[in-house]
Amino acid sequence: MTEITRDVVIIGAGPAGTTAANQLKKAGLSVAVLEARDRVGGRTWTDIIDGAMLEIGGQWVSPDQDALIETIEELGLETYSRYREGESIYIGADGEAHRYTGDIFPVAEQTKAAMLALIEQLDVLVAEVDPDEPWAHPRAEEYDEITFADWLAQQTDDVEAQDNIALFIAGAMLTKPAKAFSLLQALLMAASAGSFSNLVDEDFILDKRVVGGLQQVSIHLAERLGDDVFLNAPVRTLEWGDDGVVAHADGDITVRARYAILAHAPVLYERISFVPPLPRRQHQMHQHLSMGFVIKVHAVYDRPFWREQGLSGTAFGPYELSHEAYDNTNFEDERGTLVGFVSDKNADGVFELTAEERKARILESLSHYYGDEAKNPVVYYESDWGSEEWTRGAYAASFDFGGLHRYGKDVRTAVGPIHFACSDIAGAGYQHVDGAIRMGRLVADQLIELARA
């Protein structure tokens, strides 16, 4: 039995929790970090599978992600650029693989014009939305009461243009069908990355990787915390009141503290018994946040064979099972790695198949981009975060249709001594490690101020 007293108990040792804990400790506050899993890092997880190092969760860093970049530099980690020499592949409605360079897919002229017009319109709308408070936009309610798919259909009759623009937010980011979330939610996603154009530019959004893996951010931050991190310690009960909190975790661990930070995905709040229960608003609000779902597929080959064909490895196909794929070869690795993504309804569909059938279907899709050689990887692995009890989906949580303007303003509001920090409730860096770090810093600063008051 472990009974300890700290200034702050932090629930979750992902990027948000480990960042907050370090900042609090630097300011002289004592912390305990309780982590459900047997490792730190949360949705960042760098592992060796059949001899290949794979980024099972988050991995890419984009140039606007200042908080993450500062942390990477401060921890002395190195980054390298994603391989991007050569031509990309696009498979559209005609089912043919077309080579191209630049950002705009090689589609028919009228489709190209429709796509460019949509990107321009979205950039204008996104510039009006503050990612920290999209609900404050004067037309927030109206934008939250039309699905992204319906809004796109109102702007153009060109279905391939609609499907391609939907892809950048739906399959590629929120990992929900474009009919399942609102225009406002789409604008938040783009605003959190700076602009819609940034999402279309894979050289921006998927710019760099960390040598040795992105999980190292949390690993190094946790190392600095030493014995203050408790693994295999899922918090089951959180008592709270005017005097602070008492957290009860597996392993017979009890932590008394002045404040708690819930530093994990909002869909997991309901896994904790709050005594007394959280207020009505939180009960309602938390039911309107749900995880998207995507399978991240890793295929490792004896060499990056696509480069020999002048291909960058970058591939898009709005009607393909794997709607996007990239060269994901590790730093200075002779072997070549492709990473593909199977999102929302497609992911549901292939999980109804046997593992062998699913693998065959996914590799078949990759072969449409890269040729038959793609069907024979030496290592094959599917990241399935939907099966992970302490995550339950990928990449992150978003509000369901109409939920953002209704509940968004309260998503970061503390309840008594309980504070919330996670990438899924961030503004800038939303759904990314950068947003997790920003939220960790923000909540730590608030608590430091409260503790000094």
Residues belonging to the binding site for substrate are: 341
Q: Does 204 bind ligand FDA (CB under 6 A)?
A: no
**Helix boundaries (H) for 296-354:** 305-308, 344-350
| 245 touching ligand FDA, by CB under 6 A | no
- Which residue in 12, 69, 320, 50 sits closest to 172, CA to CA? 320
Pick 67 or 152: Cβ nearer ligand FDA: 67
Residue 58 makes contact with ligand FDA by CB under 6 A: yes
Paired residues of 310 in beta bridges: none
Q: At its nearest, how many Å lie between ligand FDA and the CB of residue 341?
A: 8
According to DSSP H, which parts of 206-337 are helical? 215-225, 280-286, 305-308
Smallest distance, Å, CB 112 to ligand FDA?
28
Indicate whether 17 belongs to the interface with ligand FDA (CB under 6 A). Answer: yes
How far is residue 177's CA from residue 168's CA, in Å, rounded to a whole number? 11
Region from 15-23, 280-288, 328-336, 342-350 binding ligand FDA, contact rule CB under 6 A:
15-23
Kindly tell me which of 340 and 402 has the beta carbon lying closer to ligand FDA. 340
Q: CB under 6 A: which stretch of 143-151, 168-176, 406-414, 432-440 binds ligand FDA?
A: 432-440
22 near ligand FDA, judged by CB under 6 A: no
| 297 φ/ψ sector (left φ>0, alpha ψ -120 to 50, else beta) | beta
Sign of CA dihedral 195, 44, 6, 73: negative
Exposure of 51 by Cβ count < 10 A (0-12 exposed, 13-18 middle, 19+ buried)?
exposed
From 166, 174, 225, 263, residue interacting with ligand FDA (rule: CB under 6 A) = 263
379: which strand partners?
Answer: 300
Question: Toward ligand FDA, which CB reaches closer, 114 or 206?
Answer: 206
b vs e for 194-208, b when ≥16 Cβ sit within 10 Å of the residue's Cβ?
A: bbbbbbbbbebbbbb
Between 288 and 438, name the residue whose CB sits nearer to ligand FDA. 438
- The nearer residue to ligand FDA, 125 or 394, going by C-beta atoms, is 394
How does 26-39 read in b/e, with b if 16+ C-beta sit within 10 Å? Answer: eeebebbbbbbbee
Among 23, 185, 215, 383, binds ligand FDA (CB under 6 A): 383
In whole angstroms, give the CA distance from residue 68 to residue 64: 9
Q: Among 10, 34, 172, 245, which residue sits at the site for ligand FDA (rule: CB under 6 A)?
A: 34
Q: Does residue 194 touch ligand FDA according to CB under 6 A?
A: no
Judged by CB under 6 A, does residue 36 bind ligand FDA? yes
Burial-class residue 330 by CB neighbours within 10 Å (0-12, 13-18, 19+). buried
CA-closest candidate to residue 160, choices 84, 75, 92 = 92
Concatenating the DSSP letter of every residue in 227-255 gives GGEESS--EEEEEEETTEEEEEETTTEEE
Instruction: Answer yes or no whether residue 235 interacts with ligand FDA by CB under 6 A.
Output: yes
Residues in region 328-367 near ligand FDA by CB under 6 A: none
According to the binding rule CB under 6 A, does residue 216 interact with ligand FDA? no
Specify the residue, 135 or 385, whose C-beta has the smaller distance to ligand FDA. 385
| Cα separation, 6 vs 74, whole angstroms | 26
Question: Is residue 395 involved in binding ligand FDA (CB under 6 A)?
Answer: yes
SS3 of 185, please?
Answer: helix
Q: Which stretch binds ligand FDA (CB under 6 A): 9-17, 69-77, 183-191, 372-380?
A: 9-17
Task: Determine, following the binding rule CB under 6 A, whether residue 135 of this chain makes contact with ligand FDA.
Answer: no
Nearer to ligand FDA, 12 or 377 (CB): 12
- 13 token code pair: 């040792």
Q: Which residue lies nearer to ligand FDA by CB, 137 or 432?
A: 432
Counting contacts by CB under 6 A, is residue 391 touching ligand FDA?
Answer: yes
Binding footprint of ligand FDA on the chain (CB under 6 A): 11-17, 34-37, 42-44, 57-60, 234-235, 263-265, 268, 271-272, 296, 383, 385, 390-391, 394-396, 422-423, 431-434, 436
